[in-house]
Amino acid sequence: MLAALHLNESVPDQVVWSTAADGLYTVSDAIRILMQSNNTVSPTWPKVIWGNNVPSKIMIFHWLAILNSIPVREILINRHILPSTHSRLCVWCLNEPETVNHLLLHYKWSSNIWNDLFRWWNIRWVIPGSLEAFSFDWFFGMGINASKFWKLIGPATIWAIWMARNDYIFNGKFICRSVLVQNIRLKVFLWATNLKFCHGLHSYVWEQNPFLLCY
């Protein structure tokens, strides 16, 4: 490839995105290439993260969480943002290191939130070992005919857990699990209604049996 090139010392170097005719990089072109690639990266992950009808800040948080890049204690210490002497333990349980998967999935309080949401939809599910694997589960509907709702419930739940964690650290406030689950249900109901996923405007019916308001 290099043998065919002719260097011109009078022309300054520049970065060129080789797949575009004008040489300019765009995110849409990068996603297109990723989805067409045959490498080990699943071509569906852009849809799992960016194909949801949720606020952009929650999509970005979801993306960063899958990349193991949200500022939990384990990551902050490993990146030398917090001193190595700082506690790595979960701010709630004080038994396990505060990792992304522990905080958002496996900590007992967090897993009970997920279990409450599973019971709400009358399903049984074992939480996978990673947020990435779980994201694919809820994107494809948890095995029920309501995938469009779980595409909202999943991101809404990890965001709610994260905000509750921050409120506890920075403000000393701890939210009751049942209140948090109710808040998640209401948030998803408002999103779903705005997206016209529901044919009713009665949140109390949604909370009792969401299938009654589904198309």
The tens digit of pLDDT for each residue in 39-74 reads: 544 546 667 777 678 898 999 999 999 989 999 999
Instruction: Specify the 3-state DSSP secondary structure of 198.
Output: strand
Please give the DSSP secondary-structure letter assigned to residue 103: I
- Say if residues 104 and 65 touch (Cβ distance below 8 Å): yes
The full set of domain ranges for the chain reads 27-34+41-213
- Say if residues 214 and 144 touch (Cβ distance below 8 Å): no
Kindly report, residue by residue over 162-187, the tens digit of the pLDDT. Answer: 999 999 999 999 999 999 999 999 99
* pTM across the whole model: 0.78
In this structure, the number of other CB atoms found within 10 A of the CB of residue 169 comes to: 12
CA distances from 208 to 4, 166, 179 (A): 69, 29, 15
Q: What integer is the mean pLDDT of 76-103?
A: 92
